[in-house]
Amino acid sequence: MSAQAALPGDATQGKRLYDASCRSCHDAGVYTRKERRVNSLEALRNQINGCAHMTQQNISDTNQRDLVKYLNETFYKF
């Protein structure tokens, strides 16, 4: 079993959350650009918290987990 499959969360739900609240400021280009900032799962979690904070939203642990899984499977693949 790969590390990806072992990550907890629901990527489908993560995508739904992402489509609903993450597309207003940046498109998916930020995850694939060469000089991207996130280089670990830990950094990804921190960045998601930071972004949610900017929108004055509090993100639940479950939502964060689903977003991490979705973004990791789709773009980062740590």
> Which residues of the chain form contacts with ligand HEC (CB under 6 A)?
18, 21-22, 24-26, 30-31, 36-38, 44, 47-48, 51-52, 54-55, 67, 71
Closest distance of CB 3 from ligand HEC, Å: 18
Q: Letter for the amino acid at 61? A: D
Q: What distance lies between CA 5 and its chain's CA centroid?
A: 16
Closest distance of CB 47 from ligand HEC, Å: 4
Closest distance of CB 1 from ligand HEC, Å: 25
Q: Contact, 66 vs 14, CB < 8 A?
A: yes
